[in-house]
Amino acid sequence: MEEEDVISLFRESGALLDGHFQLSSGLHSSGYLQCALVLQHPARAELLAKALAEKIHSLRAATVIAPALGGVIIGYEVARIARLRSLFAERQEGKLTLRRGFRLSPDERVVVVEDVVTTGGSTLETIGVVREAGANVVGAISIIARGEVDPDLDVPFDTLARVALPAYEPNKCPQCADKVQILMPGSRLSGRPV
């Protein structure tokens, strides 16, 4: 799957949004990628997951882990196609953790699967959850990377597509300066106007 094909799926799904958004990272942007609008279509989710599974094959992972909520669907689909185990980390008292009886074995080979990576914050938190359990993170992958520079994750990282959407610290955001209403659609945020 080529980068243009990935972007086309987002456009066809109405998942490339324009406006004034606060991202899960806390940064502000005039563009937002709403993966849920793509992944609501199982055939599209499967296409993306097949492409991701091909990219992680050489990592010889035993398990896929994704941060909830955004990464759960694509993480599960990648694991299904690659015939790996699928886990997710979810927030408890504001911190990502393994719950629901999920366990990782010492030295288990794990790959982190994400929908969209901006700063890599959720991916780093998920890597921390895996390492805290004594397992080995062999890589991380996403459908989309927002930006031209890979996040510093301390593991190999790959993505299906890069979308260069500007992201600003709130105090440097031109739309804030123009008093444009902000939306918070990210999974850690409310999804409503502020």
Residue 157 maps to a domain:
yes
CATH number at residue 88: 3.40.50.2020
Summarize pLDDT for 25-80 with one digit per residue, the tens: 788 988 888 899 999 999 999 999 999 999 999 999 999 999 998 899 999 999 99
Helix (H) / strand (E) element for 163: namely strand 157-163
Tell me whether residue 174 is in a domain.
no
166 or 5, which is more confident?
5
Say if residue 97's pLDDT is above 60: yes
Q: Which of 182 and 108 is assigned the larger pLDDT? A: 108
Residue 176 lies in a domain: no
Q: What is the pLDDT of residues 107-123, one digit of tens each?
A: 899 999 999 988 888 99
Decide if 4 is inside a domain. no
Residue 189 above 60 pLDDT?
no
CA nearest 184: which of 67, 31, 17, 24?
24
Those residues whose C-beta lies under 8 Å from the C-beta of residue 28, and which sit 6 or more positions away, are 20, 21, 22, 167, 168, 169, 170, 173, 175, 176, 182
Share of the chain above pLDDT 70, in %: 94
pLDDT exceeds 90 at position 183? no
In a domain, 15, yes or no: no
Which among 184, 130, 144 is positioned nearest to 10, based on CA atoms?
A: 144
| The two three-digit tokens of residue 9, written as one number | 């799926």
Q: Above 80 in pLDDT, residue 187? A: no
Would the pLDDT of 190 be above 50?
A: no
> How many domains does the structure of the chain reveal?
1
Q: What is the pTM of this model?
A: 0.85
Judge whether 86 lies within some domain. yes
Read off the pLDDT band of 188 (50, 70, 90).
Answer: very low
Q: Is residue 68 part of a domain?
A: yes
Q: Tokens 């279509």 belong to which residue? A: 41
10 falls within a domain: no
Domain hosting residue 161, numbered range? 43-169
